[in-house]
Amino acid sequence: MKKILLLFTFIVLISSCKEQSETEKKIEEIPVSLKVARFDKLFFETPPQDLNKLKSAYPEFFPQGVPDSVWTNKMNNAMWKDLYKEVQKKYGDFEIQKTEIEAVFKHAKYYFPNTRLPEIVTVISEMDYNNKVIYTGNYLLISLELYLGQEHEFYKSEFPAYIRQNFESSQIIPDVVAALSNNQIPEDPNKNLLSQMIFEGKQLYIKDLLIPDYSDADKMGYTPEQIQWCQENESYMWRYFIDESLLYDTDPKLANRFIHRAPFSKFYLEIDNESPGRVGAWLGWQIVRAYAENNKVDVKELLTMDATTIFNNSKYKPKK
């Protein structure tokens, strides 16, 4: 009996790998060629007296009402110039990232055919870590000053470690996908914890589709050790959520405890300091994955489905 089960499992795995391989071949054949505009270079290498020429070429990046002195002061500021030099050291050549971004959009066009192909625009912005990558349809804006490496001297006094850990170059592509996913998932009118978990899980599931070769750690913005902690404590976390009746609780504080970026999650137990932040998002991801594995459903249908339907039909069982 064991031999039969092993043979069946092997056949299923082979079939699944073959299907994935055929899908990837179709994706690779999708024509995608993106233009890159190095606005960061243009801005800091343009003499202040030629600012109007730059504004004429890129009027979208110069909001009306902002005096020219704001831009010329930035051009002349020694700290901004130093930051620009550091960005150029690391990203003087952006070809590798361009190729990877084109691969993302090949996958996006396969799963979401109406996806608009943007112009990639690299910028040095205001170190807004909540908006590292912005996708508008016409543009994909990437703030390169936030990908210099978590130990870079520019970050240590400004950002806590749990924020800095995502300032690595390996996070550019996952952040690109996160920006894309904002246009694919409607808000759930329910504001309970489960709906927020599933919403985050859908975003992470899109990463499964668009960057399948990336690790779960990179997709989540975790370290490998943080992923391992979640895997080892999945059953324990789930039992806590059930025992405390949190899934359908609408307390807004729950998002800060389990969904939003944080140094650790807040069970109010001894395990808190060992836990990574956003464990509710990780659990939501596992539920969405379980639903996708156990139900034949179109990706777009899954993304628009309400959280309760996904949960009730996911057959999700935390690993022990």
Instruction: For residue 289, tell me if it sits in a domain.
Output: yes
- Distance, in Å, from the CA atom of 167 to the CA atom of 151, rounded to the nearest integer, reads 9
Does the pLDDT at position 6 exceed 70?
no
Does some domain include residue 6?
A: no
Strand-strand pairing, 36-38 and 133-135:
unpaired
Q: Are residues 66 and 177 in the same domain?
A: yes
Q: What is the pLDDT of residues 155-200, one digit of tens each?
A: 988 999 999 999 999 999 999 999 999 888 998 888 999 999 999 9
Which of 181, 210, 228 is the last residue before a domain boundary?
181
Q: 265 and 174, same structural domain?
A: no
Same domain assignment for residues 174 and 220: no
The residue assigned the tokens 């405390």 is 244
Is the same domain home to 161 and 201? no
> Within this chain, do residues 173 and 252 fall inside the same structural domain, yes or no?
no
Rounded Cα distance between 3 and 120, Å, is 52
pTM of the complete model beyond 0.75: yes
State whether the Cα torsion 181-182-188-192 is positive or negative: positive
Domain-terminating residue out of 148, 181, 214? 181
- Residue 299, in any domain of the structure: yes
Residues 98 and 48 in one domain: yes
Mean pLDDT of 19-38: 90
- Give a yes or no: residue 3 inside a domain: no
* Angstrom distance (rounded) from CA 275 to CA 237: 10
Q: What percent of the chain has pLDDT over 90?
A: 88
| Domain identity same for 214 and 136 | no
What local confidence, expressed as pLDDT, does residue 252 receive?
95
Q: Evaluate whether residue 19 is within a structural domain.
A: no
Kindly state the helix (H) or strand (E) to which residue 123 belongs, with its residue range.
strand 119-123
Do both 144 and 281 map to the same domain? Answer: no
- Could you tell me how many helices (H) and strands (E) the chain has, helices first? 17, 4
Q: Is residue 272 a part of any domain in this protein? A: yes
pLDDT of the residue at 12: 44
Q: How does the average pLDDT of the chain come out, rounded?
A: 93
Q: Quick one: pLDDT at residue 34?
A: 97
For residue 18, name the pLDDT band (cuts at 50, 70, 90). low
pLDDT of 319 reads: 85
Domain boundary among 181, 207, 222: 181
Cα(186)–Cα(11) distance, integer angstroms: 37
The whole-number pLDDT of residue 19 equals: 59
DSSP state at residue 148: S
Does residue 307 surpass a pLDDT of 60?
Answer: yes
What is the average per-residue pLDDT within 140-167?
96
Number of domains in the chain: 2
User: Is the per-residue pLDDT at 2 higher than 70?
Assistant: no
Range of the domain at 48: 36-181
For 74-106, how does the pLDDT look when each residue is reduced to its tens digit (9 = 90+)? Answer: 999 999 999 999 999 999 999 999 999 999 999
Q: Do residues 175 and 228 both lie within one domain?
A: no
- Establish if 147 belongs to a structural domain: yes
Give SS3 for 280. Answer: helix
Over the stretch 205-237, which tens digit does the pLDDT of each residue have?
999 999 999 999 999 999 999 999 999 999 999
Question: Residues 149, 93: one domain?
Answer: yes
Residue 22 lies in a domain: no
The reply to whether 175 and 198 lie within a common domain is: no
CA 104, chain centre distance (Å): 12
pLDDT digits (tens, 9 = 90+) for 61-73: 999 999 999 999 9
218, amino acid identity: D
Asked if 74 and 153 sit in the same domain, the reply is: yes
